[in-house]
Amino acid sequence: MTKKMREKLFKEFKGLKTDKERWAWIIKNQKYGITVWLGRVTTTATFDKHPDDYLLNFYFAVGCGGGVFDLLDCVGVKCSGV
């Protein structure tokens, strides 16, 4: 993915108002190599090969219990623990 595309996607994500919109965007854009990072107090996402360039932040953390990983896997979202 080009830097221009990452910037476009990052801007789109930043323009979203709610976490519901952010989750829908993450699901829709999995083809761009986005990984969701699950922690106890934060939920973030990054573009796989550029984790430090663009950090996509959620307002509410969803936690890092096993059920969350299973749920995201079922809807096709790549995720990992922090």
Question: What pLDDT score was predicted for residue 50?
Answer: 58
Per-residue pLDDT of the chain (82 residues; tens, 9 = 90+): 788 999 999 999 999 999 999 999 999 999 999 999 999 999 999 987 656 678 999 999 999 999 999 999 999 999 999 8
Q: What is the pTM of this model?
A: 0.90
CB-CB neighbours of 64 under 10 Å:
18
Q: Phi and psi at residue 2, in whole multiples of 5°?
A: -80, 160
Provide the CATH number for the domain around residue 15: 3.30.720
Full domain range(s) for residue 7:
3-81
First-last CA distance in the chain: 24
